[in-house]
Homo-oligomer: A and B are copies of this chain.
Amino acid sequence: MEKKKGEHTLREIETQQEIWSDVISKVENRKEDLQSLFDGIERVVFTGCGSNYYMSLGAAMHFQQITGIQACGIPASELLLYPDVVLGMGERQVVVSLCRSGETTEVVNAMHIAGSSYGLKSLYIGCSKQSTVSNMCTLSLVPPDVQEKSVVTTRSHTAMFLAVQVMCGLLGMNEKFPGDTYLRELRKLPPIGRKVISGFHETVERIPLNEYSHFVFLGSGPFYGIACESMLKMKEMALMPSDAFHSLEFRHGPKSILERAVLVTLFLSDTGSDLECDLIQEVKELGGSVVTVCEKAQEHVWRSSNFVFETQGSVNEWARSVLYLPFTQMLALRKALTRDIDVDAPRNLTYYVRLER
């Protein structure tokens, strides 16, 4: 039987929530290992390439919020080229490598430098327990059953990010938002995820995707990382111009590009909700269209947005990224299908990047 275009990717998007419960319990079982790894640590460097670099930005933000420990996200290539700038902050650091295959050359080389030149402890989070990077690291967290056939990452991304979030909860020392409270929020995700996945087709199909030729993704705080990841998905899958910005940054220059063919997807936060709703209004006044992805839209959000996707179910915004992201994965896949592109064989890309030097 002939393979349908994008069928692997579609299946991986549609099944991603099935493994979330296992991810949560598997990482929770590593509590002692993780607490011991991060004991006395003052700074955490998350690193990766491509999607995993963008995950590292979200991971650092969540880690700082939940644990109170300073964190940053940086591409593996930057760590490799400028190790003193990235790692020259003393011994009380852990480097966390985010890497699906565990074989990406730049990540392998970056982790080698972190370990052998700086003597730093390290953690691997990815999908391949028997991999070069996993074997180099002090500790590994490998979500169960997350392997993907597709070159573009979808299911592995939410599973790995959820693993990061559970780790944050296990290490959480924030009095205002204790780790245990955070873990309770995360445990709500699997059933809500099932509803999200069964509900997003209807909204995506209502959007006349062939009318849009430029896609902008906006997110503040917890959601900037997934805005970047969505931008990348739109390029990789649909080969379309796409941008990502911190929501309110969009006013400071980028909004100059707004016109009828621009579709802006806003991942609505709770903290910035009022200011972000003003922005939705402004985008529409300047001729763009807006899809608002949110938990539950108030009346003025319905009124000012062209399209709304609600994840429903009630979880704290710091637990919500993996509920928001599948919608834009699906948006990119559908846009690719309108252009007759097979996202299972994306142009110019390979499963991971191996370099000769």
A residues with CB within 8 A of B: 43, 49-51, 53, 61, 64-65, 68, 70, 72, 75, 77-78, 81-82, 84-85, 88-89, 104, 106, 152, 176, 214, 220-221, 224, 232, 235-236, 239, 241, 243, 246-249, 251-258, 269, 271-272, 274-275, 278, 286, 346-349, 353, 355, 357
Residue of B nearest to A346 (CB): B256
Contact status of A253 and B349, CB under 8 A, knowing A68-B88, A81-B269, A81-B271: yes
* Measured CA separation A115–B65 after assembly (Å): 21
A180 to chain B, nearest CB (A): 19
Q: Are A64 and B81 in contact (CB under 8 A)?
A: no
* Measured CA separation A131–B77 after assembly (Å): 40
Residues of B within 8 A of A82 (CB): 65, 220-221, 271
Q: Are B214 and A253 in contact (CB under 8 A)?
A: no
Residues of B within 8 A of A349 (CB): 253, 255-256
Q: Are B253 and A241 in contact (CB under 8 A)?
A: no
Q: Are B85 and A252 in contact (CB under 8 A)?
A: no
Q: Are A106 and B248 in contact (CB under 8 A)?
A: yes
Q: Are A50 and B253 in contact (CB under 8 A)?
A: yes
Q: Are B348 and A77 in contact (CB under 8 A)?
A: no
Residue of B nearest to A43 (CB): B70
Which residue of B235, B241, B256, B272 is within 8 Å of A348 (Cβ)? B256
Question: Could you list 9 A-B pairs, sorted by A, with CB under 8 Å?
Answer: A50-B252, A51-B252, A70-B70, A72-B72, A77-B249, A104-B252, A235-B256, A256-B347, A278-B357
Residue of B nearest to A66 (CB): B85
Residues of B within 8 A of A176 (CB): 84
Which residue of B51, B239, B272 is within 8 Å of A256 (Cβ)? B239
The 9 closest A-B pairs by CB, nearest first: A50-B252, A77-B248, A241-B241, A49-B252, A50-B253, A81-B272, A82-B221, A75-B246, A65-B85
A72 to chain B, nearest CB (A): 7
Q: Are B269 and A348 in contact (CB under 8 A)?
A: no
Scoring A43, A249, A255, A286 by chain B CB atoms within 10 A of each residue's CB, the highest score goes to A249
Contact status of A220 and B81, CB under 8 A, knowing A239-B257, A275-B357: yes
* Measured CA separation A347–B78 after assembly (Å): 35
Scoring A85, A224, A346, A353 by chain B CB atoms within 10 A of each residue's CB, the highest score goes to A85
* Measured CA separation A236–B257 after assembly (Å): 7
A174 to chain B, nearest CB (A): 9
Q: Are A232 and B246 in contact (CB under 8 A)?
A: no
Residue of B nearest to A282 (CB): B348
* Measured CA separation A246–B86 after assembly (Å): 14
A268 to chain B, nearest CB (A): 12
Q: Are B254 and A78 in contact (CB under 8 A)?
A: no
Residue of B nearest to A64 (CB): B85
Which residue of B104, B278, B357 is within 8 Å of A274 (Cβ)? B357
A80 to chain B, nearest CB (A): 8
Which residue of B81, B257, B271, B357 is within 8 Å of A235 (Cβ)? B257
Residues of B within 8 A of A286 (CB): 348
Q: Are A84 and B65 in contact (CB under 8 A)?
A: yes
* Measured CA separation A35–B253 after assembly (Å): 34
* Measured CA separation A83–B251 after assembly (Å): 20
